[in-house]
Every structure is written in structure tokens, then in C-alpha cells.
Amino acid sequence: MLQLNTNGAEFIKRHIGPSAQDTEKMLAAIGIKSVDELIEKTIPTIIRSKKPMQIPEGLSEFEMLQSLKKIGDKNIVATNFIGQGYYGTITPSVILRNIFENPGWYTQYTPYQAEIAQGRLESLLNFQTMVCDLTGLPIANASLLDEATAAAEAMAMIFNHVNKTDSVTQPKFFVDSAIFPQTKGVLVTRAAPIHIQIEEGSYQSTKIDNTYFGAILQYPNNTGSIEDYTAFIDQVHQAGGLVILVADIMSLTLLKSPGELNADVAVGNTQRFGVPMGFGGPHAAYFATKDEFKRGMPGRLIGVSIDAQGGRALRMALQTREQHIKREKATSNICTAQALLANMAVMYTVYHGPVGLKKIAQKIHGLAQNLEARLTSLGITQANKFYFDTLHLTGFDIAALQKEALAADINFRYFNDGKNDNTIAITIDETISENEIAKVVALFEKITGKKASGKVASTTSIPASLVRTSSYLEHPVFNTHHSETQMMRYIKQLENKDLSLNTSMISLGSCTMKLNAATEMIPVSWPAFSSMHPFAPSSQTLGYQEMATELSAYLCESTGFTACSLQPNSGAQGEYAGLLTIRAYHEHHKQAHRNIVLIPISAHGTNPASAVMAGFKVIVVACDAAGDIDVNDLKEKANLHKDNLGGLMITYPSTHGVFEETIIDICDSIHALGGLVYMDGANMNAQVGLTSPGAIGADVCHLNLHKTFAIPHGGGGPGMGPICVNDKLAPFLPGHIYNKSKIGAVSAAPMGSASILLISYAYIKMLGATGLQLATAYAILNANYMKSRLEKKYTILYAGKNGTCAHEFIIDLRPFKATAGIEAEDVAKRLIDYGFHAPTMSFPVAGTIMIEPTESEDKPELDRFCDALISIHDEIMAIEKGLSDKLDNPLKNAPHTQKVICADEWKHAYTRQEAAFPLYYVQQNKFWPTVARVNNTHGDRNLVCTCEPVASYA
Ligand SMILES: Cc1ncc(COP(=O)(O)O)c(C=O)c1O
């Protein structure tokens, strides 16, 4: 029985919104007797789960924290000198408390509704400005997933730029042997399906000709050496190729920028700007390039525009680049990125300012020089002529050192790559002080039996030709907020501009904006998890391993599959990884020609984009009038391509919010022709515990942990997109440099953004089997309750055969265009005046909104939202009847800012009260948009993606 059991786990009632009494009222409104009956009518019997989930019953919040603490105690937080792209960093407490641990920031959605997202848009614009300044390149995006995938995105971008026509004339890509191995690993994975030929070598000895489209180098490189690439960059350019530099962001405060070196693209990680290592993530990677490549850039770009009042307003620029529009022609599948972490990194820069940042970099450099002097006095060889933070050491008993260091919980980087064997690297970061340096020296003294002396060099170890002389971060935003009071207020000022889950429900269809409970979030900040280096010895990471093993088992149980990879850093990365497993399976069975994948027209844009990246050709399948996959069209196309059929990608329940009855038949027909089925798990919130991808006949799926499993969206990331697979595909899961596999790595770190896996782990632990099932049932109940209220006023597109929807439903707004001149955008913006974020706009059907309330919203909130939409309907009717002007009405002028409402002049035919306080509840909790409706085309025509000069604000 699907009932809110008053004796059940404490957290169930905290996570699920409606009370038992309200449940009765909601069922009565739908006209159904019980939640069980609703589920029976909604999910086809044939795919209903037959057995209870093998997941323990829920722990209380207190119990869960205690048990996770014990698991954390199994991790050893060592002093890390490993470097390799991950560094100890000091997160300023004001940022930790006011952003990282603040639902006002972490529960935000991607800033599609720009009018209620000006705070994070401003911060992300600061991020882009910071990246542009430090890299010396004019345009940067608002983050990518990690350094390695950012490098792969850059590779794909320049490949497409250079090889503009279908015939690829420059297929080769030079990879300098001295880039981080995890980056190389991802490049190799990403290159193969799109037929890029990776040529690895030394930049000093390789001759680049016109068969190369580009090259990638690391600055400073894998062993820490600072190399001058100027001549090589010229050589690549002369051959018609382009150059990517992977640059350490901290070092760029002291080193000549990639732009000054004439690199075409710079990528890297901003982790060491105040974002904990977290055993691999989440962190924001950056991507900057020259102006001429801006239209091919991956990810989201924030730009400056104007609003309806002519004031400055920010929004996401060049939205036509989104996969929604480009689909299989998109060259990147990046959707969710790392917005929250980008905001943290830039706030670190805002707080420290250019002078503070440089001081941190100089301290790091100085300590490295200090250590070099003392170690070389012991007779140890330091191989880097020039370096920033990393010493490359040889000439001593490495095994002896390793033994002593491990015993002292000190980690160095021990090479075992065939090129640098018998050497180690020591990397200094911001957290290292003289004390730690002294401990390192003592270790070396012990193994050499000598006493260190050594005088620190008086000059820097940066070559004169590469010393940075150009200025950076001169904008006032980086030179103002340096006291904690100023910083706290700046963060708060931005937070106040944004509508988050701590204001009202965000009913985004397909995005599952559910509760991100505080108890789920707390462990992410614990040093036992946050301070772990992803390449720490496995003997130190037992806690992470235990959590990951347990979580993988729960995810397999939820999907009906048998194996799991936690590596992909977003849903789209999961799609890519999952499709690679299918590709590898066919290759393994000598069926490499199976390169066709069928994708319904209703699919999310990332599906075709990921398919192309994984080397598939996309054939689009039609949907019928009821919104279901057109089974005849599907079978016809599957048959037509049967010899080359790789598989099918489907979303279930469909993006139309319906559990299609034909799903088993669909999967069977693909299998019968030798194809495999990929299920996009974005809608798993309608499945967990009641049915599963395994039950519908799929072979692999990804899970958006940032939807179904409670990781917050962070204003556009982080996210996690693990994949689960059946036995057939288990041998083909992603590997890593430290764990070789058939398809290689898809992320820089073996467990992706490992630290936020804790959130999903905690969510599952506290809900337990009963709670997980109830959460799904209530997600469906809440959606059907809203549907029952709204269908009296609006046309609902699509429903299952018994008239119920899944966990979301689509409202058709298209008819109002003809009757009242009202478009979906007008309704979305008017909802802001009512204190709500708009539902998903125009996906999967243009001119509609898709509402997904989730289980976490209670009946009063659902009612407020329905009241708002019903009141908006009345406003539309007034226009239809001629009672309200077609152009001058509350919808067309929405949203109304405080400035507009309080202005001395009010020229409209409706009142200020009607504009700003249209319903009684709004008076209790008014949320003011800080800008009026944003003009998108103006911004795209006049693209400005960095903070404008101060004069322009005047
Ligand atoms: C149906 C569907 N598939 C895939 C994705 C991509 O997921 P992500 O944004 O995590 O990359 C989304 C994102 O909203 C989605 O709604």
C-alpha cells in the first residue's frame, strides 16, 4: 500500500510535501480513491515492479549523519603534494557559509528566466571576466565540467572550425606528452568516435604539417616545467592549425597569459580558487577563446543586454547554440555545467582581488623555491629549470621515501608512466606553510641521512620571457569587496535578485527541482570528504570506496540493472558514456558497422548531440498525435536500417509526461534487430520503486542525480549523471588511467564529482525503500492534482490511456496567440509577478509550458501555483473579451519591477495593485524581479560577455 505511514521513517514526512489529510483531498479532486489506484491507472501493469526494493528502510537524519561520519572516518586526510590538477585551497568562510552552504544559491535553476536570475548572472559574468583577464583571451563561457572534458570540448571545437566541410582534410591532433595523463585519457576517448587522429609526442621534436588541425599543450606542464611554446604555436598556425593551452589558473597571475602567447583556446580548472578538491569534484572548468570562435563555443555564455525599460540586464547569450535547436548538428552536448562552483571561484577572486591573488601565487612559488633550495642541498636533483609550484625530483631512494611519507600521511606524486619513472613531483598549494615544508625536508633528510641547508633563490624561477607584465582584474568588482562585511553583503545582494527554492516552487518539467535537504548537504563540507585528492592512494580512500559501492548498488536496484559507473559529470555526459558502452559492445561483437541510433523527435536536444559525439548517425522517429512514439514509424525505420542499427534512445516516461503502453514492444523490436536500448533517465522521478529501466527492457540508462536523487541544480550545475547497465554492457563501462577499460575515461576523475554523490547517498539512506517508492508516487499524485485543477481552464496536452499524467504535464498556450495575442513567454513572465518561476518553456512542444511539481511541494503551494495560473487565465480571457487592451495588459508588460510600480508616472489601463499584487498571497511573500523583460535579440546583436567598463554603467 502506498500510504504515508505515520510510523515510517522520520525523513519521509520531511521530504514529501502533502500531509495524509491533504492526500485525501487531492485524491478526491482527481476523482480517485487511493494513491495505489492512481499508480495502477498511470503505470502500465506489465512494467510495474514485482518485488520490494532491496534497499534498507530509512534512517533518521541524525542516524544518517552519524553513520556517514563513521564512513568519513575511514578516509585519511593526508597532506597532499600530488598536484596534477587538484590542489589544496582555502575556501573563505564567508563564501563557504553564504554560497556553498546557502540554499539561496545552491537551489537555483539554470538562469533561463533571466529577470529573476540577475544575481547569479552577474556573478557568472564576473567569472567570464576573470577568465578572460587571466587567460588574456577575449571571450569565456560560464564554466565546463572539468579540465579534461574542457580540453576535449576545445579539441572538438577547433576540429570543426578547421575542417569546415564534410571532407576532413586535417584529421590529426597533436597532444604533447607532457599534459596531465587524465586529460590525455579523456581526449583519447573523445577523439576515437569522431575519427580524430591523436598524435602524441614532444612539442620540441614534432613537425606539424597541414594534416594537423591543432595541438594541445599544458602550461606549466605535467611535471611542473614552464615551457615557452611561442615558436611551436607559430609553427602550428603556419600549418593552418589552432592551439589549445591547458593553463593553471593560479599560475597565470605570474605567467604571461595564453592570449599573449597567441594560443587560440585556453582551458583549465578553477578548483584552486577556493573550491575543495572533493575527491575529484565538483569544480568549474574554464574555457576561453578568441572572438572568431565564439559561435562555436560549447557551454553557456552570459551576456549583457537591456530590459524593456532600457536598463542593463543580463541573460544567457546566443541561445540558438543550444542543443535544443541544433540537435544532431550540435558539436557539444554540454547542458548542465558547474555554475555554483564557478560562482565560488569568482567570489574567491572578488574577495582576494588581483593583489591578494598574486600574493597567494607568490607565496606558493616562494615556498616551492624554498623547498628546492633545501632539497638540492641534500644532493637531490630538481629537473625543472623553470617552474611555478611543482618540483620534479630525482636522485634518491624513491621507495624509501614513499614508505616514510605514507607513514606520515604525506602524499607526493610518484610517476609510473614510462617517461618519468624514478622521479617524483612535489606540488605546493595555498594550504602549505613553512611547517609542512619542514616536514617534507625532514623526510628527505631521513632517507638521505644528511642535514639540509640551502638558501632560497633571490630571483623567481619563472623565465624572464614568460613573466607576466600585463595587468588583470582591474574592474571595480575585483577591487571593492575585500572586507568580510562587504563580501557578505555583495553575496547577499546578488542572492536577493534570484528566485530559488527557498522562495517558492520551481516546477520545471524534466528538471525535477525537488527538496535538497540540509542534512543531505552537510556532509559535503566535511573535510573527511571535501579535502580528499582524487589520486590519493586507495588505502586512504576507504570511506569514499564504501559509500560509492553502496550507492552504486542502490542505483542498480533503482534501475533494475547490474553494474554502475559513477564517472559522468552530468546527464549529457551520462548519455555519451552510455552510448559508448553500446558502441563498444557492437565493436566487441564484430559489428562496428552498427552506427545508426533512432531518436524520437520529442527527445531532449542533448540526446542527438551525444549520439553524434559517440560516433552514431541519428535517425529521427516521429511521434503520433497523442504524443507517443509512432511505433509504425519506429519499426519502419528500424527495419530500413536493420543491418546497421546500433540502438534506440528513449526517454521514459516520455518527455510528454506519459508512460507509453507500447514500451516493451518498442524495446523488443529494437533487440530483435540486433540493436540496444538507451534510456534517458531524466524522468526517473516517475519510476523509482514502481518500475525501472530494466523492467521496460532498456539495456543502459543514465540517472540525473541532480534531478531524481536530490543533488541541487546550483544555478546550472553541478550535476552527476552515473550510468547503470545490464550484464551485456557491464564489461564496457568507462575506465580511467588508473583502471584501464575498453572505452577509457569520460571524466578527469575516476568517480567524477565524487563529493556530491554523498547527497544522493544520504537521500536514499534517509528515505529507504518505502520512502523512495512513496516519493515517486507523490510526484505522480502532485502532478495529477495540479492537472485536475488546471484542466478546467487550460488544454492539457497528452495523458495516458486512463487520463492520468506521469510526474509532469504540458499546458498548451498556443491557442491564446490567435485569441488574445498572448504567447507562452507572456505567461512565463507574468508568473514572476505572482512570485513563481515559470515551468519549462517550449520543451518538448513549442508554445507550451511543462509543469513538474515534484513530491516535495505541499498542497498549499500547489494551490498557490494553480491559483496563479487560473488568475492568469482570467487575465487572458479579459483580453479575449476586449476588457483588457491587447498590447497594454499585465501579461505583455510583465514582469513588473519595483521601480516601475513605484514610479511617479503610471500610464497603464490596469492598476499597480493588479500588476504587482494580483492575488492575496502575493502580499505575504512578494518577490520582486530586479529587471523588466529582457531583450534577447539586442544582446545577441551586440554581444558583450565580460563586465563592461565602469563608464558604461553611467
Ligand atoms: C530529458 C533530458 N535529457 C537529458 C538532459 C541533460 O542533462 P544534463 O543537463 O544533466 O546534462 C536533460 C536536462 O534537463 C533532460 O531534461
What per-residue confidence (pLDDT) applies to 940?
85
What is the DSSP code string of 629-659? B-HHHHHHHHHHTGGGEEEEEEESS-TTS--
Least confident piece of the model among 75-84, 124-133, 618-627, 888-897: 618-627
- pLDDT tier at 609 (50, 70, 90 boundaries)? very high
> Percentage of the chain surpassing pLDDT 90?
92
pLDDT over threshold 60, residue 693: yes
What per-residue confidence (pLDDT) applies to 891?
98
> In this structure, which residue's CA is closest to atom 13 in ligand 1?
511
What per-residue confidence (pLDDT) applies to 412?
98
Cell numbers for 878, please give them: 479579459
What per-residue confidence (pLDDT) applies to 9?
80
Q: Is 880 exposed, middle or buried (0-12, 13-18, 19+ CB in 10 A)?
A: middle
**Tens digits of per-residue pLDDT, 206-244?**
999 999 999 999 999 999 999 999 999 999 999 999 999
Q: Is the CB of 563 under 6 A from ligand 1?
A: no
pLDDT over threshold 80, residue 399: yes
What per-residue confidence (pLDDT) applies to 328?
76
Q: How many CB atoms lie within 10 A of CB 905?
A: 5
Centre of ligand 1 from the C-alpha of residue 682, in Å: 6
- pLDDT tier at 198 (50, 70, 90 boundaries)? very high
pLDDT over threshold 80, residue 454: no
**Tens digits of per-residue pLDDT, 508-538?**
999 999 999 999 999 999 999 999 999 999 9
Q: Is the CB of 604 under 6 A from ligand 1?
A: yes
Residue type, 156: A
Closest CA to 550 of 45, 59, 11, 17: 59
- pLDDT tier at 320 (50, 70, 90 boundaries)? low
pLDDT over threshold 70, residue 403: yes
Which one of 335, 705, 707, 845 would you pick to mutate in the ligand 1 pocket, going by the greatest count of ligand atoms within 8 A of its CB?
Answer: 335
pLDDT over threshold 70, residue 321: no
- What is the average per-residue pLDDT within 635-656? 97
> Could you tell me if 931 and 307 are in contact, meaning their C-beta atoms sit under 8 angstroms apart?
yes
**Tens digits of per-residue pLDDT, 864-887?**
999 999 999 999 999 999 999 999
**Tens digits of per-residue pLDDT, 704-753?**
999 999 999 999 999 999 999 999 999 999 999 878 788 899 999 999 99
CA atoms within 13 A on the CB side of 209: 2
Give how far Cα 834 sits from Cα of 377, 761, 923, Å.
Answer: 71, 35, 10
Q: Is the CB of 708 under 6 A from ligand 1?
A: no
> In this structure, which residue's CA is closest to atom 5 in ligand 1?
571
Closest CA to 940 of 296, 330, 319, 140: 319
- What is the average per-residue pLDDT within 260-284? 98
Q: How far apart, in whole angstroms, are the C-alpha atoms of residue 145 and residue 157?
A: 16
> Could you tell me if 575 and 606 are in contact, meaning their C-beta atoms sit under 8 angstroms apart?
yes
What per-residue confidence (pLDDT) applies to 948?
86
* Residue, of 937 and 257, whose pLDDT is higher: 257
What per-residue confidence (pLDDT) applies to 323?
63
pLDDT over threshold 90, residue 755: yes
- What is the average per-residue pLDDT within 615-633? 93
- pLDDT tier at 324 (50, 70, 90 boundaries)? low
* Residue, of 6 and 101, whose pLDDT is higher: 101
> In this structure, which residue's CA is closest to atom 14 in ligand 1?
511
**Tens digits of per-residue pLDDT, 351-371?**
999 999 999 999 999 999 999
Centre of ligand 1 from the C-alpha of residue 302, in Å: 20
Q: Is the CB of 511 under 6 A from ligand 1?
A: yes
> In this structure, which residue's CA is closest to atom 10 in ligand 1?
571
Mean pLDDT of the chain: 96
pLDDT over threshold 60, residue 953: no
Q: Is the CB of 354 under 6 A from ligand 1?
A: no
The radius of gyration computed from the CA coordinates of the chain, to the nearest angstrom, equals 28
